[in-house]
Structure 1
Amino acid sequence: MKTCFTILLMLCSAALFAQSAEKLYGNWIKVRTIYKDGSELNDYDLIKYNYTKFSFSKPDKCTIALSYDQWGEPVHFMLGFDELFIKNDKEFVLNQLHIVKFSADTMILMQQNNGSWDDPACIKFYYVPESAFQKANPLTADDIVSVKGTDTLYRASEKLYAGFNGDASFHMLEQSALGDLHGETPLKNHFLATFIINKDGTADSLKIVEGINPDFDKQYIKTFLKLKNHWVHATHNGKAVSVQMKDEFRYLSSAPDFFERAKPGMLADEEMKAGNYSLAIINYTKAIRNSPYAGEYYYKRAFCYLATDDAADACSDLQKAKELGTYAANGLIKRFCQ
C-alpha cells in the first residue's frame, strides 16, 4: 500500500511539474530587484535596473540574456517543488533559485546569499511575461525611425524587435563567422551596423556605420546575406511591422591593454563605494576615455553626479549610457530626469 501511494505521489508530482513548465514556456522580463527584507538595492548597482530575459522552451531549454536582441548561453532547466535549477548540458547545476511565487503573469525568484535562503541580503527578482512588459512600456515618437505613407519603420528596442530563427542569435552567428578577423590590420576597434527587418521577415538595407577592416566588414556582409531569410518580423497591435535593428562589436587590442584601460574604472568603483564621489568622477572620466565599454562608466559617473547634486551632468551621462546600450540607465532617467 505504501509503495502504491509513493508511486501515485510521484505521478502527481510529475503532472504538476509538467503543468508548471507549460506556464513557464516563453520570455520573462525582470521588472524589479529588491532584497529579501524588502529594502532597495543601491542605485549604483547595475543589477537593480539592468535588463534580464529568461527564455524557456520545450522540453527543458533555457537562455538568460542581458539584452533584448541576444539569446545568452543555452542551458537547461529543471523545476522542483519550489525551486528552479539551471543546468549545463552535462547536468551540472549552475544555479539554484527559490521560486517565491509563480503564476501565469508573475514569477518571483530568489537568489541565496552566503549559502542561505534566510539571509536578509538574499535578492528577489520579479519577472513578468514579455507581452506584459511591452504593454506596460508603450511605443513613443522616439521609437519611430521614419513614416512613409501608411508604413512606419520602428527602431528596435526592448519594446519591439524582430525575432531570429536559428541555432543561435544572429549576433553569435556573426561572431562565429568573423573569427579573429578583427585582429588583421585593424583600423578601428568598434563595429556598428544597422539593417531593416521587413514586414515579411526578410533582412535588407544593411549599412555599416563604422567598420573594423575590409576583411572583417566583407565577412560580416557575407554572413548577413546568408542569414537574411532567418528572421521573424516584429508585431505591433497584432500587425506585422518593419523595424530597424543594429549590431555592434567592440574589441581591445590585447589583454595587457584591457587591464591597463580597466584600472581607472576599478579605482573609481572603490572611490564611489567609499563615498568619495568627486574622486570617483575624475577616475570615471579617465575610464570613459580609455574603454570601448563606456556605457557602464557613464552610468556610474551619473550616480556620482547625482550624489553631488549635479542633476544636469547626471542626466547627460545617463542619456549617453542609454545610447551606448546600458539599459539600466532607464531606471535612473525615469527617477531623476523626467
Structure 2
Amino acid sequence: MKRILVILFFLFFEFSQSQQINLQGNWILDKIQYQNGNPLEVNHPSYSNFLEYNFNGNNLEINNQKFKVSIDNSSISTNFRKMQYKFENEYLVLNEIGDDKIYYFLKTNDYLTKYPEFEPNEISFENKKVFESNSIIKPTFTNTENFEEFIRKNIPSYSSISATNNFFKARYILTKENRIIDIQIIEGITKTFDNEYKNALLKSEKFMKNNFGKDLLVTQTFNFFKMFAGLTNKEEKEIYSFVKNGNQFYEKNEFDKAIANYEKLLTINIKPEITERFGYSLDQAFVNLGVSYLATENNAKACNSFKKVGDKTNFKVRNYLINFCK
C-alpha cells in the first residue's frame, strides 16, 4: 500500500510539473464565450480586444502588467484573483473564479499559424529592409518594470511635459542582434525631451530581446492631453462634444440617440494631427457607432464604421469584422 501511495504521489507530481511547463511562454486570446457556450453580446466591452498572457516561472505578465503568481496543476493565483486552467488541444482555457466567461488562448506561434495576417510587413526604413512590429510580433522587455514605465522613469522632464497638451511619436530599429539603431523622432516635443527619450531608449537596450530573428521597426507614442482644458480650436471642441454625448447614450443602450451624435463626427474633416491626438477616443467612438448600427440592424454602415478604426489586425474591431463583415 505504501509503495502504491509513493507511485501515485510521483505520478501526480510529474503531471503537475508537466502542466506548469506547458503553461510557460506567451499566449494570445483567441476567443471568449460564456460558460453555457453562448457568445458575448456585441456591446460587451470584451467582445473585441487584445489580451496577452506571458508566463515566466512564477511571474505572469498581462498586457505588460507584471504579477507574481502561484501555479499548481489546475489553478493560477495572484494576491487578488484565482483562475482555473486546463489545456484543450492547442488551447489554454482559463476561467476566473466568480466569472461566467471562458477564455481561450493560443501560443504565439500557433496564433500566427492560424492567422498569418499578423506576419510583419517588410518595408524600407533608413535605406534598410525591416519588418514592422505589431501587437503580436514585437520586442520582449526583460526588466522587472514594463517598457513604458522604464522609459517614463528615465525621461527627467516627463512629469512636467505630462501636464501639457502634446503628442510624441518616435521610431527605431531593434536589430536581430538586439541593438537599437536609427532612432527617428517623428513628432517631437522639445529638444530636451526628445534627447532624453533617446537616452532612455538606449538605456533600455540591454533589456530588449528580438525573438523574431529579423530587424524590427518599432513605433512608440506618448499622448499628453489635458482633456477639455487642452482643446485648442472649434474642431477639437466639436469632436469632444460629439463623442461625449454619444458615449452617454451608448452606455444607456439608447443606440438611435448614440448614432445621431456619433454620426456628427462624419461631417468633420478631421486633420491627421488631430486624429493622432484623439486616436483612442475617436477609435472607441467609431467602434461604438458600429455596435449601435448592429443593434439597429444596419450591418453595412456598421462595417464601414469598424473599418475606420482598422482592419482585421486591429483588435479593437477584429472580431466585429470577422463575425459581421464577410
Does the alignment pair 1:272 with 2:250?
yes
Does the alignment pair 1:136 with 2:134?
no
**Contact 1:192-1:247 at 8 Å conserved across structures:** yes
Greater shift, 137-146 or 25-34, is seen at 137-146
Tell me the residue number matched to 1:31: 30
Tell me the residue number matched to 1:252: 225
- Once the two structures are superposed, the pairs formed by residues 187-198 of structure 1 within 5 Å of their partners are 188-198=165-175
**What is the TM-score when the length of structure 1 is the normalising length?**
0.75
Tell me the residue number matched to 1:75: 67
Tell me the residue number matched to 1:293: 280
Separation in 2, partners of 1:155, 1:263: 35
1:219-250 deviation digits (Å, cap 9, x = unpaired) = 11111122335432342xxxx22221111222
Tell me the residue number matched to 1:201: 178
Tell me the residue number matched to 2:95: 110
**Contact 1:34-1:48 at 8 Å conserved across structures:** no
Q: Which of 213, 216, 220 is residue 243 of structure 1 equivalent to?
A: 216
Structure 1: gaps spanning 5 or more residues: 66-70, 88-92
Greater shift, 292-301 or 279-288, is seen at 279-288
1:49-86 deviation digits (Å, cap 9, x = unpaired) = 2111111112x111111xxxxx22x112223453221x
Greater shift, 5-14 or 196-205, is seen at 5-14
Report the alpha carbon displacement of residue 278 of structure 1 after superposing the two structures with TM. Answer: 3.0
Tell me the residue number matched to 2:234: none
Distance of aligned partners of 1:255 and 1:19 in 2 relative to their CA distance in 1, 3 Å threshold: farther
CA RMSD of aligned residues (A): 3.9
Distance of aligned partners of 1:44 and 1:132 in 2 relative to their CA distance in 1, 3 Å threshold: same
**Contact 2:161-2:224 at 8 Å conserved across structures:** no
Matched residue of 2:290: which SS? helix
Matched residue of 1:299: which SS? helix
- Once the two structures are superposed, the pairs formed by residues 37-186 of structure 1 within 5 Å of their partners are 37-58=36-57, 60-65=58-63, 71-72=64-65, 74-85=66-77, 87=78, 93-99=79-85, 101-102=86-87, 105-113=90-98, 122-139=100-117, 143-146=121-124, 152-178=129-155, 181=158, 183-184=160-161
Distance of aligned partners of 1:98 and 1:185 in 2 relative to their CA distance in 1, 3 Å threshold: closer
1:282-319 deviation digits (Å, cap 9, x = unpaired) = 44468998955222222212222344455565444423
Separation in 2, partners of 1:147, 1:212: 22
Matched residue of 2:138: which SS? coil
1:157-201 deviation digits (Å, cap 9, x = unpaired) = 134223334333332211222366253497643222121222322
**What is the TM-score when the length of structure 2 is the normalising length?**
0.77
Separation in 2, partners of 1:182, 1:138: 40
Report the alpha carbon displacement of residue 264 of structure 1 after superposing the two structures with TM. Answer: 6.7
Distance of aligned partners of 1:104 and 1:219 in 2 relative to their CA distance in 1, 3 Å threshold: farther
Structure 2: gaps spanning 5 or more residues: 232-236
Aligned pair count?
309
Distance of aligned partners of 1:126 and 1:205 in 2 relative to their CA distance in 1, 3 Å threshold: same
Separation in 2, partners of 1:186, 1:175: 14
Greater shift, 244-253 or 48-57, is seen at 244-253
Distance of aligned partners of 1:247 and 1:262 in 2 relative to their CA distance in 1, 3 Å threshold: same
Tell me the residue number matched to 1:216: 193
**Contact 2:19-2:73 at 8 Å conserved across structures:** no
- Equivalent residue letter for 1:62: L
**Contact 1:204-1:228 at 8 Å conserved across structures:** no
Distance of aligned partners of 1:285 and 1:78 in 2 relative to their CA distance in 1, 3 Å threshold: farther
- Equivalent residue letter for 1:64: I
Distance of aligned partners of 1:148 and 1:257 in 2 relative to their CA distance in 1, 3 Å threshold: closer
- Equivalent residue letter for 2:54: S
Greater shift, 214-223 or 161-170, is seen at 161-170
Separation in 1, partners of 2:56, 2:84: 20
Separation in 2, partners of 1:17, 1:265: 50
Distance of aligned partners of 1:5 and 1:262 in 2 relative to their CA distance in 1, 3 Å threshold: farther
